[in-house]
Amino acid sequence: MSKDTLTNIQNQLVEFSKARDWEKYHSPKNLSMALSVEVAELVEHFQWLTEEESRNINGQKLNEVKEEVADVLLYLLQICNQLNIDPVDAAKQKLLKNAVKYPPR
Amino acid sequence: MSKDTLTNIQNQLVEFSKARDWEKYHSPKNLSMALSVEVAELVEHFQWLTEEESRNINGQKLNEVKEEVADVLLYLLQICNQLNIDPVDAAKQKLLKNAVKYPPR
Amino acid sequence: MSKDTLTNIQNQLVEFSKARDWEKYHSPKNLSMALSVEVAELVEHFQWLTEEESRNINGQKLNEVKEEVADVLLYLLQICNQLNIDPVDAAKQKLLKNAVKYPPR
Amino acid sequence: MSKDTLTNIQNQLVEFSKARDWEKYHSPKNLSMALSVEVAELVEHFQWLTEEESRNINGQKLNEVKEEVADVLLYLLQICNQLNIDPVDAAKQKLLKNAVKYPPR
């Protein structure tokens, strides 16, 4: 992964929305709904599988899951764009907080 | 953002789970459920706001939203860890696919 | 609505699953995932609408929403079946609790 | 269950919202978001359980699940109120459709 990759993707998403005049739809409220829909499409792949089966998906199923993961990430980054949130910074801060909240055994 | 940042976070998440003996719980099936719960906590911040209000959150509300965004990203990266999915590669491929599916106006 | 209608539907759902040998899949865990997927299909209908537009859907859109509402109710009733929960009794108790928690203005 | 029980609950929900001046918030769009949040609170109870464990919850855990089931039903009924959907009629129609779509073995 090259430097600033997520930032590049975030910038591409801004251009993508502008070129299609979609910015008016992309309130954080609406984007959070779209995010939840994409997560459900990921959940749908796993709902009738055993946990063990879910650890061993491959082929076409894995490709479809990969695509849903992408959709989730893309909507999450658009929420970050709208609210000026740095996702990596947010994740790092949360990791530190979790390390305190859940001490290792 | 330094090079390989997401990969660093993904590696930290592996260590974090190992140190707490949580790997047995982290099937993609279970992680997709946890991901959906975190997304709902994000949605909850926006459910009674107007779209306009959702574009203008700040202060404590924005901090809480930032933390939920982090939780969503962290669970998404754990799914990627379990299934050997490169999230940035997946997102880039999906962007190309979307550009074909939705031509600019 | 005739007496015991929800109970009738719940009984039909039991027969439906038995006849298809689906009971093995219908753990509360799996059913909660399926429920979340159906709710997302409902959310999807509203995600890019304004609140005002969402109050005024009709025709084919309303029919599709009605079908998603049915799917949500059917999975919820199947969870009730599995855990011996009386949905109407649960709702009545929650209404009383809410009336105390949120006093009228 | 007495005749018209769901209808009684739906009527109580109308009164409840009126008495608190909440009707302005209760667009189908917003209610679908609230519904998804309540479903996630149900999912949260099951996310780290095995399927077998989810079939055998009891005591306080079962009481909490019952309360989340109630919340899901109450928001679903409020969506029905807003859009003049009869939930039982919708469920019956969907059952017939499912019987055709998935023939018994």
Choose among A5, A32, A82: nearest Cβ to B88. A5
Cross-chain residue pair C35–D21, CB shorter than 8 Å:
no
Give per-residue pLDDT as tens, B67-90: 999 999 999 999 999 999 999 999
CA distance A75 to A38: 8
Closest residue in B to A20 (Cα) is: B104
Give per-residue pLDDT as tens, C53-71: 999 999 999 999 999 999 9
Choose among D33, D41, D44: nearest Cβ to B47. D33
Helices and strands (DSSP H and E) totals, chain D: 5, 0
Closest residue in B to C32 (Cα) is: B33
Residue D3 has pLDDT above 70, yes or no: no
When pLDDT is cut at 50, 70 and 90, the band that residue C33 belongs to is very high
Q: Which uninterrupted H or E stretch holds D61?
A: helix D59-83
Tokens of D80: 């029905």
ipTM of predicted complex: 0.96
CA distance A45 to B27: 13
Residue C3 has pLDDT above 50, yes or no: no
**Cβ contacts of C93 on chain D, cutoff 8 Å:** 67, 70
> Nearest CA to CA, how far is D86 from chain C (Å)?
8
Cross-chain residue pair D48–B25, CB shorter than 8 Å:
yes
Q: Which uninterrupted H or E stretch holds B13?
A: helix B5-20
pLDDT at position D2, please? 46
pLDDT at position D105, please? 77
Choose among C33, C34, C40: nearest Cβ to A37. C40
Choose among A27, A40, A102: nearest Cβ to B55. A27
Cross-chain residue pair D34–B47, CB shorter than 8 Å:
yes
Lowest mean pLDDT among B2-16, C60-74, D34-48, D59-73: B2-16
CA dist list (Å): D99 to A27, C17, C58, D105? 40, 11, 26, 11
Centre a 10 Å sphere on the Cβ of residue C103 and count the other Cβ atoms it contains: 8
CA distance D87 to D77: 7
pLDDT at position A104, please? 87
Crossing angle of the two packed helices A59-83 and B28-46, in degrees rounded to 10: 30
Cross-chain residue pair D43–B36, CB shorter than 8 Å:
yes
CA D58 to chain centre: 21
Q: Which chains touch A (3 or more CB pairs under 8 A)?
A: B, C, D
Q: What is the C-alpha R_g of chain D?
A: 17
**Cβ contacts of A36 on chain D, cutoff 8 Å:** 36
Residue B46 has pLDDT above 90, yes or no: yes
When pLDDT is cut at 50, 70 and 90, the band that residue B105 belongs to is confident
Tokens of C47: 């995600």
Residue B2 has pLDDT above 60, yes or no: no
Give per-residue pLDDT as tens, A43-93: 999 999 999 999 999 999 999 999 999 999 999 999 999 999 999 999 999
Q: Are C65 and C42 in contact (CB under 8 A)?
A: yes
Cross-chain residue pair A30–C48, CB shorter than 8 Å:
yes
Query: What's the first-to-final CA gap in chain B, in angstroms?
Result: 33
CA distance B28 to C44: 24
Q: Which uninterrupted H or E stretch holds C38?
A: helix C28-46
